[in-house]
């Protein structure tokens, strides 16, 4: 399993991904799922991937080598004129891999299973963040819900839902993203350290931060501990439960002892 999230706030883009892959419970490895591409000052991208590793690696290699278009030119991420066209090229690369490998995978009872987050900026337009599905179609992140997730997304969603706003500080967004990853790792063993992080500041068109958080790294360990303490403490600030039993079922207990009450 995998957990990746991308957060797009006014000041820029945060992308986070775990690195655990598994082929069964006894075949666990570390593979990078978060990749950065840049021509500093002109364009910067980060791509996070979930799904079958052979598929996601082939998609990335195609995006570097380029796919030939009808006029014979090679379309790569690096020569995409706009972020929208870059997302289209990611979708096309996925469809190309599906056309090549999909039927053989299906014959082996393997699903063609892939989803990618593409975030970044090309000079002259604002930053964008897309989620590209296995069919090659995609959606774009908006200010209403300024984040997208792929992989094991449920455990880490409640904190994003409540704490992420489009106007928040870029590194506060990274902090909340790391909390979201921590929530996921705590509950799903198949999401694991190290954690890769990329931060692309608006209009820099370059990655401001490219970092791998290794197991045992002190800041992340402290963040995990503080977050756990905050979750444990939060209910202490909620007043005691004031509920009394509802009248109707209580009456029914006395009337028909041993029967279903409610």
CB of 87 or CB of 105, closer to its own copies:
87
3-state secondary structure of 75: strand
Q: Nearest-CA neighbor of 129 among 75, 200, 177?
A: 200
CB of 105 or CB of 122, closer to its own copies:
122
CB of 35 or CB of 89, closer to its own copies:
35
Q: Nearest-CA neighbor of 36 among 148, 188, 172, 197?
A: 197
Minimum CB separation of residue 22 from its own copies in Å reads: 19
- Two tokens, residue 11: 């000041």
Minimum CB separation of residue 104 from its own copies in Å reads: 26
CB of 3 or CB of 112, closer to its own copies:
3
CB of 105 or CB of 197, closer to its own copies:
197
Minimum CB separation of residue 163 from its own copies in Å reads: 5
Minimum CB separation of residue 24 from its own copies in Å reads: 22
CB contact burial 69-106 (16+ within 10 A = b; e otherwise):
eeeeeebbbeebeebeebbbbbbbbbbebbeebbeebe
Minimum CB separation of residue 13 from its own copies in Å reads: 15
**DSSP code, position 199:** E
């Amino acid at each position: 399993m995998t957990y990746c999230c991308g957060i797009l706030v006014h000041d820029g883009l945060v992308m986070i991904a775990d690195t655990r892959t598994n082929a069964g419970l006894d075949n666990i490895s570390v593979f990078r799922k978060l990749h950065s591409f840049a021509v500093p000052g002109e364009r910067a991208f980060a791509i996070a991937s979930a799904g079958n590793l052979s598929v996601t690696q082939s998609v990335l290699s195609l995006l570097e080598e380029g796919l030939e278009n009808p006029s014979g030119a090679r379309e790569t991420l690096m020569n995409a004129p706009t972020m929208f066209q870059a997302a289209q090229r990611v979708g096309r690369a996925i469809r190309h891999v599906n056309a090549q490998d999909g039927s053989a995978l299906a014959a082996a009872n393997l699903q063609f299973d892939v989803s990618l987050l593409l975030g970044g900026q090309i000079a002259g337009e604002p930053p964008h963040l897309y989620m590209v599905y296995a069919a090659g179609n995609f959606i774009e992140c908006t200010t209403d819900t300024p984040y997208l997730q792929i992989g094991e997304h449920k455990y880490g969603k409640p904190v994003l839902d409540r704490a992420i706003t489009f106007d928040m500080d870029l590194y506060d967004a990274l902090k909340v993203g790391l909390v979201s990853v921590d929530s996921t790792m705590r509950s799903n063993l198949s999401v694991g350290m190290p954690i890769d992080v990329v931060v692309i500041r608006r209009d820099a068109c370059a990655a401001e931060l490219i970092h791998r958080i290794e197991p045992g790294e002190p800041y992340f360990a402290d963040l995990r501990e503080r977050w756990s303490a905050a979750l444990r403490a939060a209910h202490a600030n909620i007043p005691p439960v004031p509920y009394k039993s509802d009248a109707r079922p209580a009456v029914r207990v006395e009337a028909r002892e041993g029967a279903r009450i409610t």
